[in-house]
Chain A
Amino acid sequence: MKLFARLYTALDETTRTNAKVDALVAYFQSAPPEDAIWAINFLIGRKPRQVVPTRKLREWAAELAGIPAWLFEASYDVVGDLAETISLVLPRGNASNDMPLHIWVEQHLLPLRSKKADTQRKEIDSAWNQMDRVQRFVWNKLITGAFRVGVSHKLVTRALAQFSGIEEPVIAHRLMGNWNPDSTYYHQILSPDTNDADISRPYPFFLAYPLDQDAEMLGNVTEWQAEWKWDGIRAQVIKRENQVFIWSRGEDLITAKFPELQRAAQKLPDGTVIDGEILPWKDDRPLHFAELQRRIGRKNITRKILETAPVVLMAYDLLECDGEDVRNNEMAWRDQRLANITAQISGGRIIHSPKVNTDSWKDLAKLKDGARNRGVEGLMLKRLSSPYGVGRKRGDWWKWKIDPLTVDAVLIYAQRGHGRRSGLYTDYTFAVWDHERLVPFAKAYSGLSNDEIRQVDRFIQRHTIERFGPVRSVKPQLVFEIAFEDIRKSPRHKSGVAVRFPRIARWRTDKKIEDADSLETIRALIHD
């Protein structure tokens, strides 16, 4: 496991892409296949579920460290990462060894979940005792189900391609869907033979970049296809050998969550793969995303849910047609085929995403700005001649979002951040005026530069009024412009409103707290 821990450190210590790829390639060159496949598995985000409750881990770690529980919690508050806190407080182990990663995972980690608490404790004590600090950290990340490291799917794919000489798209495709992390599959990933069908396997999703330039710069508007940017769950629907598989973008198989879609997709011709968005939909228009969220949260799909939040697939693209991979055909070609296929499916569950046709970028911009009333987030622009790519690429697909709503609000509470922002006060609560009172209105974590974060952190340290556990209330003095995508009434919130994706747009050093917005003006932003 030392080798894997060293890889983790190397990936963690650099922000340079090439250095990360080099570290990965070096790892694949020296790791045995049984280990490498687990490494790939974890690196691309297929982390194991939590095997031991974190409450137990904290308790055990504090005991081994000889510190009271509250001191462990205070330390965790400063470090901002549980796995790391544990690795820092534990006394040095004395049985250093270097068992391979796959042995740790297959013989120790995976069986842990089904064991009794005292056996779990013995196993974990013994594991900690055999590891150095970095190994413990990685191990803790794995057992808490929180394994994450700063490499994208794309980088792992690139490193594997570089290491094996197989093309990147082939590797990317092989890493999708369901597979067992064993050495057999590792050899399959790297195999020059490309006849390795698995009927459930999805294609890598093609992702759009946010448009960060004037739309006019994209050239002639007639070379582009515009569609609404729907707010649902991006999904790939596969029909092969008479079976339907629905994958989310997070590569979860979600077929069972949407029985009505599964039934509709059964009508698709065999050998069809469609990329689209699952939307809660009623009376020819989308319901609010919250309806879908509520539905996903439920364990059982009851008749009632099917009635209150029925879904459709808004079909965007065709990736496989008659069993052939058609991703390299032009967008216009694929869209035409998709239209033919969806036209034959009755029931209205699979809708061909309508095109927004205009003669000029100006008209399109106008439509985009009015999009909020349609319950969409903006427009998608796709070059008519573009293939369906892999991952996020600039150039052919752009998302053109409506400008966010903004409000000026006052910082009133702060808490230390986690992960990259650990140790600094970076999690803020903002308030707006309700007559003479400031009421909490939104929480936001991102949007400030590192410099600003440090300044605000220092302000918080010096202007704390009270502490409530990890939270500090601070003197109302700093005003920030908060941007968000959407606003709704919410009886659960003190302010009576809930906002979607709040973030800090900028620090309004030019404004005093009296200049912050009032609840009244904010309520006026709500539309039905």
Chain B
Amino acid sequence: MVHASSLLELTEFGFYCRRGDFYIDPWQPVNKAVITHAHADHTIAGCKTYLVSKSGENILKTRLGDEIRVQSIPYGKGIQLNGVQISLHPAGHILGSAQVRVDHQGEVWVVSGDYKIEPDQTCAPFEPLRCHTFITESTFGLPIFRWQSQDEIFDDITCWWKTNRADGKTSILFAYALGKAQRIIAGLDASIGAILTHGAVENINRCYRESGIKLPNTQYVATIEDKKAFEGALVIAPPLADSPAWTKKFHAVSKAFASGWMQIRGNRRRRNVERGFVLSDHSDWKGLTDTIFETGAENVWVTHGYAAEMVRWLNEQGLNAKAIPTRYTGEIEDTDL
């Protein structure tokens, strides 16, 4: 699908700005890639240069290696590429996540990447932008997705941990290693007990701390010799760690999973965990639709998620929306992004 006359077009490599000669979140290696955030479905290795937000630089290097060529700019500061102005603005998704604002002679496009509206102690809050064309994700773009406030969810997690602790069990909470895990750790009451981590989580923790994010003390599970220390502790691990090979080291456990998908009972049951905490770094239905209207955009391109449904609904509200097939996956249940 080529939109030859438009400022951004979809190519086989991803979103492309012909006038500025750069790609946004390409899924094939290109010369110049502007990156919204460092989750794997938005970040491809092998590009010649990367443009990323200042606060996202560390994480991008952690994922792709120190040797990549990165230019980083603070949120809100514009740079020019062949007469096209690019600026990055907080998307509230994870540390360093950005919406990409592209402006050519007053025509403004915004690529949302992944975003959430709810505050998050570990990253800058989402910034609403005005634009003519908005390219939005739709991971949770159905009205069945309505998040409770995170305070309620954190209370639930705390309560679950305390109960397990009283029973002498280890609480294992599965959450994405990048972003979700740190958001949870930052929101926990560390005075309850020890917070332990899977290696993948600990790596990112280090990265967050180096970027100036305050997290309570955590300890990498593999460095613990005395198994007594597992009793009553909370372990944060990526969903893929949920295998007998990894969990056998803990004695009595209670397992839980934190994800927006836990909103649906079938997902919760299939996952075979005792608790499902509905906590997502994406917007719920209201977050998505409010944001879309707030941009004032007439044209809305809807990417990964429930695109067909969102597009139909937006068109019924009088907007000019269409579904754009991309290779982004959003929050998926059984992969680590």
Contacts and interface: CB of A to CB of B under 8 A. Distances in A.
Contacts of B270: 420-421, 424, 450
Contacts of A423: 264, 266-267
A13 B309 contact: no
A23 to B, nearest CB: 12
Contacts of A80: 266
Contacts of A424: 270
Interface stretch (B22-30, B139-147, B214-222): B139-147
Contacts of B146: 88
Nearest to A418: B266
Given A68-B316, A75-B143, A84 B265 contact: yes
Interface string A304-332: 00000000000000000000000000000
Interface string A33-63: 0000000000000000000000000000000
B107 interface: no
Given A14-B274, A85-B144, A89-B144, A74 B309 contact: yes
Contact of B269 (A12, A70, A78): A12
A217 interface: no
B144 A88 contact: yes
A421 B267 CA distance: 8
Interface in B131-157: 142-146
A469 interface: no
A199 interface: no
Contacts of A277: none
Contacts of A336: none
A390 B47 CA distance: 68
A79 B144 contact: yes
A65 B143 CA distance: 8
Interface string B300-337: 00000010010011001000000000000000001000
A197 interface: no
B143 A67 contact: yes
B268 A89 contact: no
Interface residues of A, number: 29
B337 to A, nearest CB: 15
B275 A422 contact: no
A84 B316 contact: no
A68 B142 CA distance: 12
Given A450-B270, A454-B334, A79 B264 contact: yes
Contacts of B334: 454
A81 interface: yes
A222 interface: no
B164 to A, nearest CB: 13
B143 A79 contact: no
B143 A421 contact: no
A419 interface: yes
A71 interface: yes
Residue in B263, B270, B306, B312 with the greatest tally of chain A CB atoms within 10 Å: B270
A70 B306 CA distance: 14
A13 B273 CA distance: 8
Interface of A: 12-15, 65, 67-68, 70-72, 74-75, 78-81, 84-85, 88-89, 417, 419-424, 450, 454
Interface of B: 142-146, 263-270, 272, 274-275, 306, 309, 312-313, 316, 334
Which 10 A/B pairs are nearest by Cβ-Cβ distance?
Answer: A422-B266, A88-B144, A75-B144, A74-B309, A75-B142, A89-B143, A67-B143, A423-B266, A420-B269, A84-B265
